[in-house]
Amino acid sequence: MDSDSLRQTILENSRRRVAEDRPVCRGGNGTGRRDCYWLYVVTSCKSEPNLQEPIKNPARFPWHEVKKVDHYYLSVDALTQPMQVKELTAAYKRPGIDG
């Protein structure tokens, strides 16, 4: 991984919607929930965790949308090797016939 990918914060879609939500926050200041939503970021988790200063109203930043794409893969060996058919033998006895 490059250093840039280690310096990214991910915000799930559902959390972003909450951050952008606009109902009046308790306290009635009229600014909506944005004043009530904080993002807590911890850096250097692998070595010495460090809690950064909490970020008020993270929805104001230019978040970049990431779309996950489901995909499938096929081993190249599956294309180059002949197919093998194997039949399992059942270990059972037929009543009245096999004794």
Model confidence at 90, in pLDDT bands (50, 70, 90)?
Answer: low
- When divided into structural domains, the chain yields a total of 1
| Residue 32 resides in a domain | yes
The predicted structure's pLDDT at residue 49: 92
Amino acid 76: pLDDT: 75
CA nearest neighbour of 9 among 47, 48, 55? 55
- Per the CB < 8 A criterion, the answer to whether 50 and 42 are in contact is yes
**Residue 75 within a domain:** no
**What is the value of pTM for the model shown?**
0.50
The residue range of the domain holding 28 is 5-67
pLDDT at 16 over 70: yes
| pLDDT tens by residue, 31-83 | 555 567 888 988 888 899 999 999 888 888 888 888 887 878 777 777 777 76
